[in-house]
A and B are shown apart, each in its own frame.
Chain A
């Protein structure tokens, strides 16, 4: 599931390395894989096509042909180009410099608007601003109640009116805000399809009545090819000023980000990374580019780790990774820590280059227990020097862990593959990639 893309790039590297220098043909070959990778990441077909063309144009040239490590060059170009599309730097939400500032949220059903409304309110509150949540969804069962519960949980007032249409509710809310020293008004509108003319028209009316400072499209990061259609239509109708991408705490590659960005030209301003109201972050184009390429996102990994991992240990590991001094002991340690953080596969997917290295390692729990038992049966010396584990040591470890020599062999083989991979990652990181794409260069 994970790391497929990483594998592909690994394969590309291999062929490119083998070939020594880049020819137009192997640029084309590797770009075919890039295309495939982007499609698998749900970037829209048309967008992929244009994108690949522009990469090809930058790739075919002296610069690349002369380079020693052509694979790195290609990946760098692809990565740079993706960042360019996603927006070079983070664009913040409209400042709350007039009272009231109005944010209006819109999007398809279930994309995360109501939750995001709560998050924006909390974040305003933390900046010592006074927010007001406006229940402009009169359609979904218990939508008003949902917003009220969220508002209550963070001590933010919720404005609702019975028997009124959303445009009126929003207008009244704005008036109320003006009289009550509210800094930020957040309009939580109902989910709707972009082809629902009546409801799209309703958004238009709300917009005309309240003149929002921020018109945010809230889009699910798991969205497939349809992202271009919905983004186009919402943008056409409403002149979006920004995009919020939700549910990025999952394992979707999030190619929709590229599609939406391409068709609207609007910056992605915030990302939603969980169900809790504090799970809100600014958008990082570099991370997103790495994620879409499946290059891993060690930044997020490390941040995630901070919640559940001993920071000192994490730092030590990072150093070790950098020095290629990763041992079975570290591996075991990681297993223990990672177990606390969530399914291994998703974490492994965040580590660049790990996809292939861990292929075949059973990451189901029973497999993990087996691996654990084997490592537990090793002496500290063996854990630190897996290369020294010979036949008789293997038999002892197998017996001690209730496993077989084959299993011990498999574990070692996979561990060495992983070590090698880390080495490769380090090598190519240090030479080729821009800052930010280099996970070990934080």
Chain B
């Protein structure tokens, strides 16, 4: 746990030093005035939190500061942290691992290149490390060498692998995988799907079909659609969540590439507007670079200076 937190903190430290560390500097020993709020606004906007969510956070901050008669600007800082953690936490789930049934199907979806296939590999290792049996299925039969790529992750994590040939019907592969997962009685079936932009109707239809067909074998409430969001993404991520959710549901996000300098503030914008929790974050290209998302930890790591 400590090492995990450390890794997260390390990853976010660039963020912290560059941006959020500044909040500490700004608020120390200053009065709360419009200038201060403007500066906080700048910091939030630069983190991809978005205009809407930023406005809301600032507004609340202003109100609360007034209501609670906060004069010390350092208290503004803790108010701000509280505010952000609250937004991020409101959709939090109990457990990601214990379902009380098997198999649980995780349908991994998202726009192109966000890190779906890599995340499938990481999740397989994660579940396995938590004592669960796992099967992964390659339902990206479109992109060049996508199946081979997932095959390598299957080897790395040492889990069962249902593969398909390029050009196969992804729904048929999903059906086979679901049937096999049920027969073998594994705890988790993780389905990798092809990257698709949410604006492509035919590809979204294909995704719906994958889910529909899987439901012929696995009860719908045991199927969890997870949307993989690239942590570098700006405001477009909000539409991604909306459209994917309306197509196949979206009961959790996994936000990747947070090992870079992007702040992943889009998570806040999404949480602010939609009731979808962040389940995991990706912080690197290695198999263990996946962590369950913890809002307090995240905000703490962001703001710690």
Assuming A195-B14, A224-B233, what are 16 further A-B pairs, CB within 8 angstroms?
A109-B257, A110-B114, A143-B145, A146-B146, A150-B144, A222-B230, A222-B233, A225-B263, A226-B260, A226-B262, A230-B261, A247-B112, A253-B235, A255-B234, A343-B200, A343-B204
Instruction: Decide if B235 touches A224 in the complex (CB within 8 Å).
Output: yes
Q: Could you tell me if A220 and B113 are in contact, using CB atoms closer than 8 angstroms?
A: yes
* Cross-interface CB contact of A342 among B48, B145, B201, cutoff 8 Å: B201
Chain B residues with CB below 8 A from A149, complex form: 144-145, 166
B148 close to A145 (CB less than 8 A): yes
CB–CB A251/B239 < 8 A = yes
B residues less than 8 Å from A222 (CB atoms): 111, 230, 233-234, 236-237
* Pairwise interchain contact B48-A225, C-beta atoms closer than 8 A: yes
Question: In the complex, A272 Cα to B137 Cα: how many Å?
Answer: 29
B279 within 8 A of A: no
In angstroms, Cα B181 to Cα A267, docked, is: 51
Q: Which of A109, A220, A229, A251 contacts B261 (CB 8 A)?
A: A229
User: Is B199 part of the contact surface with A, judged by Cβ < 8 Å?
Assistant: yes
Q: Is A442 an interface residue (CB 8 A)?
A: no
B144 cross-chain contacts in A, Cβ below 8 A: 145-147, 149-150, 153
A-B contact pairs, 9 of them (CB 8 A): A1-B238, A42-B234, A110-B112, A142-B145, A147-B144, A149-B145, A194-B261, A253-B235, A343-B201
CB atoms of B233 and A275 under 8 A apart: no
Q: Which residues of B contact A153 (CB under 8 A)?
A: 144
**Does B45 make an interface contact (CB < 8 A)?**
yes
- B285 within 8 Å of A (CB atoms): yes
Which residues of the partner chain A approach B111 to less than 8 Å between Cβ atoms?
A: 222, 247, 250
Q: Flag if A225 contacts B47 (CB, 8 Å).
A: yes
Q: Which residues B126-148 have CB closer than 8 A to chain A?
A: 142-146, 148
- Cα A355 to Cα B145 with chains together (Å): 40
Q: What is the CA–CA distance of A288 and B260 in the complex, to the nearest angstrom?
A: 27
**Tally of chain A residues near chain B (CB < 8 A):** 49
A249 touches which one: B115, B145, B197 (CB < 8 A)? B197
Binding site for B on A (CB under 8 A): 1, 36, 39-42, 44-45, 108-112, 139-143, 145-150, 153, 193-195, 220, 222-226, 229-230, 247, 249-253, 255-256, 275, 342-343, 346, 364
Contacts of A247 in B (CB 8 A): 111-113, 197
| Docked CA distance A195–B232 (Å) | 14
The smallest beta-carbon distance between B206 and chain A, in angstroms, is 13
Q: Does B242 contact A (CB under 8 A)?
A: yes
Q: Is there a chain A Cβ closer than 8 Å to B59's Cβ?
A: no
A220/B260 in contact, CB under 8 A: no
Cα–Cα distance between A194 and B111 once the two chains are bound (Å): 22
Check A250/B236 contact, CB under 8 A, given A142-B149, A222-B230, A346-B199: yes
| A110-B51 Cα distance, complex, nearest whole Å | 27
CB pair A250–B149 under 8 Å, yes or no, is no
Against A, the Cβ 8 Å flags (1 = close, 0 = not) of B246-282 are: 1000000000010111110110000000000000000
Interface residues of B in 32-52 (CB under 8 A from A): 42, 45-48, 50-51
Point out the residues of chain A lying under 8 angstroms from B204, CB to CB. 343
Asked if B152 is an interface residue, CB under 8 A from chain A, the answer is yes
